[in-house]
Structure 1
Amino acid sequence: MNRVFQIACVSLNTTALDLEGNFLLHTKVLEDSSIDQASIVLFPELSLSGYGCEDAFYRPDLWRKCQRSIVKLLPFTKNRVVVVGAPVFYSPYLYNASIILYNQKIIGIVPKKNLANTGIHYEKRWFTEWQDHITDISLDWENISGSEEEIFEDNLLMGDLSFFWNGLRFGLEICEDSWVVNRPSHSLSEVGADLILCPGASHFAFGKYNTRSRIFLEGSRAQSNVFAFANLVGNESGRAIFDGGNIIAKSGEAIGIGKRLNFESTQILTANIDLDDIQNNRSANHRRSKIKLDDNLYPMEISLAGSPFRKNLFPSQSYDKIPQEDRYSIFTDAVTLGLFDYLRKSKTKGFTLSLSGGADSSSIAILVSVMEKEVRKSLGDKFWESLNFTTPLLTTIYQKTKNNTDITQSIAKSLADALATEHHEIEIDAEVDLMVNSISKTLGRTLNWTDDGIALQNIQARVRSPLVWLLANTKNHLLLSTGNRSEASVGYTTMDGDSSGSIAPITGVSKKFILEWLHYIGSGSDSRIQASNALSELLTTKPSAELKPLEDEQEDEKDLMPYPILQEIEYHFVKKGRSKEQILSFLQNQFDTYSANELQKFIDRFIFLFKASQWKRERLPISFHLDEYGLDPKTSFRYPILSGKD
């Protein structure tokens, strides 16, 4: 008899604290006839509660509801293993755990041993890393399960567990556990694990997918077994976008590659796995580790009755190598998914955008347009219409002053026409003059550009804010803020002016990247985005805030510094933590057309502005995490509001 078992790795678009909705996503998958023959169904990390519950993880009611959801899932586990994720409290600690269900029983709980606590992650605030070996939590679970039925065999064990199922051995390694040197899978493999199940909540960032995939491919090669990874997908709780990308790797090769950044609420990746083939490969290639494990580090084995092997197989599929990431195309995928989930989960009706004719606002308008088209293509017009968004989805407005050029007004109008937005144009000089004259009377002098230049620039941006907010509120729309990361780093934004908004979709990337992305789509490299005259004209126009008199010929890079240099300084200062002297050394190698003195002035200016602008970053709208680092002080880069010299 062939010993072949089937596995299904599931991506879910969960919502933090939506216990009922998340439960229904699980039942939708478990009732799917296409995986009836699955021996094992793996759901992502914290799949029942949602990953982004933050301080709500402390609520006992949340733990109880998750446990009741687990009990309600037991009828779906006949003759198959189902792994779900939830917070588990065992006094005095709260754990991020995976719960293993089989044959309508809870057969074990595996808590996470290594908690993610860098970048946007903050797991150690809520959870405790598992250090004990095995614990019996039967009594605690019974007290709050809400069920009078017998829901587990004898004792319910939590800890370092492995499972033996008629010749198949498997264990778990939860998300961050796979990224550390001393992975739990090492000890599992030492006791013969054929399969490592890896539930995850791994967020999107440029380049992370390829790194993550290599971790599982190399793990399966080094340990001569199978790694199966199931990830969350979508904008779950506001800032982080999870990208799916499930993978099943066997002995260093991908035998299953899941979709990334898709709009479906559930996505299932399946594979047939020949146990004899795995064990034959291990006997030939696996060698005992020279690191002797303490007896307490070996997992306890739990035996399951029945058999994982099935006669009916999933349809065979062929896969190429892990696809290489195109940063510009995947940026579009990530932001459009983030915008769609934010819109539908916030229960608003559409977007309003102050379309200035510049690179940032134009890029956001394009992304909203792509999002609508791709959702309709993926989920169908009927589903889209069921969401009851406004038509058109995007409302844009150009708010003109005497300092705006005809070029940007033309670009905004042309782009709005090409994207079929509801577009408006208004003049705001009268409103600006009213405020300037009021303060001039109060001060007893006339404000002028020599003495009051910054104030006169800021008031134009601030006058625009209440007007565009009013427009958005009349439509129950989200107001889109147009700032990028480069502007955030040096405070090149007016608080309560152009910084206003419900969400800032592109603050996770630099201005340099936005300009590169616009050139990328302008060249026709993305089939989802059609070329337009507005885009062609935009690409030949130098970025400008257009807040100074026209005769000043204001340009962003004249006010600040060249954007490529700004980006390099920001990267070395924020991401790498380098000193001024070290940054100068790197810049001299990259920008040899500038003198050391010029580069030093750019560095000094950047660091001065960065420190002075931290209070602004504390107040910027919610943004998506997109790059390998970010400046969001709530989730990425924490920095003192007041600081002295380094």
Structure 2
Amino acid sequence: MGRKVTLATCSLNQWALDFEGNLERILKSVEIAKTKGAKYRLGPELEICGYGCADHYYESDTLLHSFEVLRKLLESPVTQDIIFSFFHNINEKKYLSSPGCRKVLLIRPKMTLANVGVHRELRWFSPWNQTRQVEEYFLPRMIQEVTGQETVPFGDCVLSTKDTCIGSEVCEELWSPNSPHINMSLDGVEIFTNGSASHHELRKANQRVNLVTSATTKCGGIYLYANQRGCDGDRVYYDGCAMIGINGDTVAQGAQFSLEDVEVITATLDLEDVRSYRGEECHPHLATGLKPCHRVKVDFSLSSSGDIFLPTHEPIDWSYHTDGSNAPLDKFPYEDNEVRTVLMLINLPLVMPQAGFLLPLSGGVDSSSTACIVYSMCVQICRAVDVGNSQVLADVRRVVGDEAYSPKDPKELCGRIFTTCYMSSENSSTDTRNRAQELASQIGSSHLSINIDLAVKGILGIFSAVTGMFPKFRVNGGSHRENLALQNVQARVRMVLAYLFAQLCLWARGKPGGLLVLGSAILTGYFTKYDCSSADINPIGGVSKTDLKSFLSYCVDKYQLTALRGILAAPPTAELEPLTDGQVSQTDEADMGMTYSELSVIGRLRKISKCGPFSMFCKLIHMWRDALSPAEVAEKVKRFFRMYSINRHKMTTVTPSYHAEVYSPDDNRFDLRPFLYNTRWSWQFRAIDGQVPTTEKAPGLDALQKP
């Protein structure tokens, strides 16, 4: 009997309800695993139907088609002679397929469900909470016909081969304070597998790697981690990061971001290394009184008798995405965010068949960030084509509608698939027009200059004809309400024109297809409802203004986009009010009554630290003590919550955006708060007002006063 085992895990670009494509990718991963000599293959969570099915899990069709795919997998010759662990919407199954024997070995249900942030697993599933208990599950007839089985073990059980013991965790269970791998290791399980659907957030990969590493550092063992890759039809991005570890070391790492639909990594490891590690490091007395795992025995070996000369994998250092200089993980990982967003954008024209993107480019930080992300997408597509990625080339040809096309360079590709437009009005400055034009020229986008004054005057003419009234800007003697209406009509006209040009500008050039409209509204909520922030997708919706500025600074150096320097230096402005002597008189920060930097801090306290008005005030008097007095802090907190409650309704219509981090405005998906508030916040503000004089008179006043 041998002692060395070759194991495979993978990252797959599975899509919700894409049963045919998901089946093809699963079979391809098994074929690659076998080619590399693996006797065991692990796949990501819910790989058959896709993780992001949401309320489709309620539909009987989803379960039916999942079992039909399972039957195809069992019948395929590709899946013979390997233990194949896959995930189904009744949770994890493992089966052995060998000549003359196709068999479902066990069903191990998920015991801890993800139900925070973007996850709602308890809406559709129930956790298995009967530790160490197993029942018999009746297989559907279509599976019985293939396997000859009527029932299969279902519950908290492990798989026992002739040479080792394999136990499973499923995604969230690794993050649980009572992870199953602890008790399984004390009961002699040597190989742990985790099929996951863990979405990307900034800095999250580090947490994942630490959890996997610590799992085997404590108790020894081999750990296989698989993950989804790609969009899966929702607002999150799954970043892969498949890995294999042993005794606290990583021995194989998959790509965190990749254009490959199927990635399989393997490692050959010595089971005796696990046993000797446990002999010294583990504490067998902790297993006293522990109920043993139910073992499902299978007449199969992962090792072979002639493996003495088979080399094993050595430990490696995990390679993280950084800004290129191995910056600390508490810094904004520009490349990480850029690559994730780029890969998501690449998928969009394929699933929403279009010929590219259109972006209203204002010459400000927000829209320029979106433009840089599209340009970066073109860079990465060209790199993939240059190294021979035939799938990426086929996808690009499908998008541009030319089967003979091959991108020459990023600027040329950008010109084929990306249209930018500067929508000027009589309130627009020459500076912003020039900044937008210069950036478009440097990235190569097809750029349009559109004047919206005719449309705005037409709409106001209709209003005047009906009411006999003509609104005026505040500087011309108009009221606040008139001033606001005149700003909003400009913003909303831009949205209408953006969609008109997205649908027809290629037609006007004699080319087929339409364009997806990209948005560029950020976390603040400082935008007009149904204006040009309304789009098909918003690449930067989950990122703060502070991080976007850092991202653009990074793009200046990485892509030599010198136009961004002027964009970064300019004050943020909507340019919706009349100019003064040809210069901008309106700025975002003056309108908001706080800087974007201050707003970022306040937003994180509200969302991540769960602060209401009073607790936020109590934190900020310390955080901002060098710049603001307690009374000034109180005014900013009260202004934020007044404006937040007034503008919260905008989040109900916010353009779908990528879930970049836990500070997200995504309504009814991540941020489950009301959209109708009493905007006076009378009780809360009274508590703040009562605390201000007490704070100013308290001992240590100097520490809470600005210089």
Q: TM-score, normalised by structure 1?
A: 0.92
Is 2:430 the partner of 1:406?
yes
Report the CA distance between 1:642 and its aligned residue: 1.4
Is 2:394 the partner of 1:386?
yes
Report the CA distance between 1:531 and its aligned residue: 1.5
What does residue 91 of structure 1 align with? none
Report the CA distance between 1:596 and its aligned residue: 2.2
Q: Is the 8 A contact 2:162 2:298 kept in 1?
A: yes
- Between the aligned partners of 1:67 and 1:518, the Cα distance in structure 2 is 48
Q: How do 1:354-373 and structure 2 match up within 5 A? A: 354-373=360-379
What does residue 499 of structure 1 align with? 533
Q: Which shows bigger deviation, 254-263 or 373-382?
A: 373-382
Report the CA distance between 1:348 and its aligned residue: 2.1
Report the CA distance between 1:550 and its aligned residue: 1.4
1:538 to 1:317, Cα distance in 2 relative to 1, 3 A = farther
What does residue 293 of structure 2 align with? 299
Is 2:192 the partner of 1:196?
yes
1:24 to 1:511, Cα distance in 2 relative to 1, 3 A = same
- Between the aligned partners of 2:86 and 2:311, the Cα distance in structure 1 is 22
Q: Is the 8 A contact 2:269 2:312 kept in 1?
A: no
SS in 2 for 1:613: helix
Report the CA distance between 1:254 and its aligned residue: 1.0
SS in 2 for 1:149: helix
Report the CA distance between 1:590 and its aligned residue: 3.3
Q: How do 1:429-448 and structure 2 match up within 5 A? A: 429-448=453-472
Is 2:79 the partner of 1:77?
yes
Q: Is the 8 A contact 1:238 1:622 kept in 2?
A: no
Q: Is the 8 A contact 1:614 1:639 kept in 2?
A: no
String of CA shifts for 1:427-451, please: whole Å, max 9, x gaps.
1111111222332343333211121
- Between the aligned partners of 2:455 and 2:321, the Cα distance in structure 1 is 51
What does residue 634 of structure 1 align with? 668
What does residue 320 of structure 1 align with? 317
| Runs of 5+ unmatched residues, structure 1 | 89-95
String of CA shifts for 1:339-395, please: whole Å, max 9, x gaps.
112232222221111111111111111111111221231254754442222361111
Report the CA distance between 1:521 and its aligned residue: 2.3
Q: How do 1:603-618 and structure 2 match up within 5 A? A: 603-618=637-652
Residue type at the aligned position of 1:477: L
What does residue 690 of structure 2 align with? none
Q: Is the 8 A contact 2:439 2:563 kept in 1?
A: yes
String of CA shifts for 1:87-113, please: whole Å, max 9, x gaps.
12xxxxxxx334444433211111100
Is 2:584 the partner of 1:556?
no
- Between the aligned partners of 1:293 and 1:60, the Cα distance in structure 2 is 43
What does residue 302 of structure 2 align with? 308
Q: Is the 8 A contact 2:249 2:316 kept in 1?
A: no
Is 2:551 the partner of 1:517?
yes
1:35 to 1:598, Cα distance in 2 relative to 1, 3 A = farther
- Between the aligned partners of 2:425 and 2:154, the Cα distance in structure 1 is 66
- Between the aligned partners of 2:207 and 2:221, the Cα distance in structure 1 is 19
Q: Is the 8 A contact 1:359 1:538 kept in 2?
A: yes
What does residue 117 of structure 1 align with? 115
Report the CA distance between 1:182 and its aligned residue: 1.2
Report the CA distance between 1:37 and its aligned residue: 1.1
What does residue 405 of structure 2 align with? none
Report the CA distance between 1:61 and its aligned residue: 2.1
Q: Is the 8 A contact 2:27 2:79 kept in 1?
A: no
- Between the aligned partners of 1:200 and 1:245, the Cα distance in structure 2 is 10
Residue in structure 2 matching 1:351, options 349, 357, 378:
357
What does residue 580 of structure 1 align with? 613
Q: Is the 8 A contact 2:249 2:315 kept in 1?
A: no
What does residue 176 of structure 2 align with? 180
Q: Which has the larger radius of gyration?
A: 2
Q: CA RMSD in A?
A: 2.0
Q: How do 1:72-471 and structure 2 match up within 5 A? A: 72-74=72-74, 75-88=77-90, 96-103=91-98, 104-132=102-130, 133-138=133-138, 141-145=139-143, 148-152=145-149, 155-288=151-284, 290=286, 295=291, 298-310=292-304, 311=307, 313=310, 316=313, 319-321=316-318, 323=320, 325-326=322-323, 327-379=333-385, 380=388, 383-387=391-395, 388-390=398-400, 392-450=416-474, 451=479, 452-471=482-501
Q: Which shows bigger deviation, 385-394 or 559-568?
A: 385-394
String of CA shifts for 1:62-81, please: whole Å, max 9, x gaps.
21221222222223332321
Q: Is the 8 A contact 2:93 2:105 kept in 1?
A: no
String of CA shifts for 1:589-640, please: whole Å, max 9, x gaps.
3332222222222211111121222221011111110112311113211111
Q: Is the 8 A contact 2:81 2:96 kept in 1?
A: no
What does residue 47 of structure 2 align with? 47
Report the CA distance between 1:329 and its aligned residue: 1.2
Q: Is the 8 A contact 2:12 2:25 kept in 1?
A: yes
- Between the aligned partners of 1:318 and 1:134, the Cα distance in structure 2 is 37
Report the CA distance between 1:216 and its aligned residue: 0.8
Q: Is the 8 A contact 1:46 1:98 kept in 2?
A: no
SS in 1 for 2:160: strand
What does residue 700 of structure 2 align with? none
What does residue 93 of structure 1 align with? none
- Between the aligned partners of 2:202 and 2:146, the Cα distance in structure 1 is 47
- Between the aligned partners of 2:449 and 2:344, the Cα distance in structure 1 is 28
What does residue 589 of structure 1 align with? 622
Residue type at the aligned position of 2:169: E
- Between the aligned partners of 1:617 and 1:605, the Cα distance in structure 2 is 18
Q: Which shows bigger deviation, 390-399 or 436-445?
A: 436-445
Q: Is the 8 A contact 2:33 2:264 kept in 1?
A: no
Is 2:599 the partner of 1:570?
no
Q: Is the 8 A contact 2:6 2:40 kept in 1?
A: yes
- Between the aligned partners of 2:46 and 2:485, the Cα distance in structure 1 is 49
Report the CA distance between 1:316 and its aligned residue: 4.7
Report the CA distance between 1:290 and its aligned residue: 4.2
Residue in structure 2 matching 1:544, options 573, 578, 586:
573
Report the CA distance between 1:35 and its aligned residue: 3.4
Q: Is the 8 A contact 1:173 1:199 kept in 2?
A: yes
Q: Which shows bigger deviation, 322-331 or 253-262?
A: 322-331
What does residue 508 of structure 1 align with? 542
Q: Is the 8 A contact 1:86 1:99 kept in 2?
A: no
Q: Which shows bigger deviation, 200-209 or 376-385?
A: 376-385
- Between the aligned partners of 1:47 and 1:63, the Cα distance in structure 2 is 13
- Between the aligned partners of 1:314 and 1:63, the Cα distance in structure 2 is 42
1:595 to 1:512, Cα distance in 2 relative to 1, 3 A = same
Q: Is the 8 A contact 1:336 1:370 kept in 2?
A: yes
Report the CA distance between 1:167 and its aligned residue: 2.3
Residue type at the aligned position of 1:589: H
Is 2:522 the partner of 1:479?
no
Q: How many residues matched?
A: 624
SS in 1 for 2:653: coil
What does residue 598 of structure 1 align with? 632
1:396 to 1:16, Cα distance in 2 relative to 1, 3 A = same
1:291 to 1:566, Cα distance in 2 relative to 1, 3 A = farther
Residue type at the aligned position of 1:328: Y
Residue type at the aligned position of 1:300: H
1:246 to 1:584, Cα distance in 2 relative to 1, 3 A = same
- Between the aligned partners of 1:385 and 1:110, the Cα distance in structure 2 is 40
Residue type at the aligned position of 1:582: S
- Between the aligned partners of 2:285 and 2:89, the Cα distance in structure 1 is 33
Residue type at the aligned position of 2:373: L
SS in 2 for 1:64: helix
Residue type at the aligned position of 1:323: Y
- Between the aligned partners of 2:389 and 2:253, the Cα distance in structure 1 is 28
| Runs of 5+ unmatched residues, structure 2 | 324-332, 401-414, 505-512, 685-707
Report the CA distance between 1:289 and its aligned residue: 6.1
- Between the aligned partners of 2:110 and 2:42, the Cα distance in structure 1 is 16
- Between the aligned partners of 1:426 and 1:34, the Cα distance in structure 2 is 57
1:563 to 1:278, Cα distance in 2 relative to 1, 3 A = same
String of CA shifts for 1:108-158, please: whole Å, max 9, x gaps.
1111000000000000000010123211113xx13353x623354x74111
Q: Is the 8 A contact 1:203 1:241 kept in 2?
A: yes
1:209 to 1:167, Cα distance in 2 relative to 1, 3 A = same
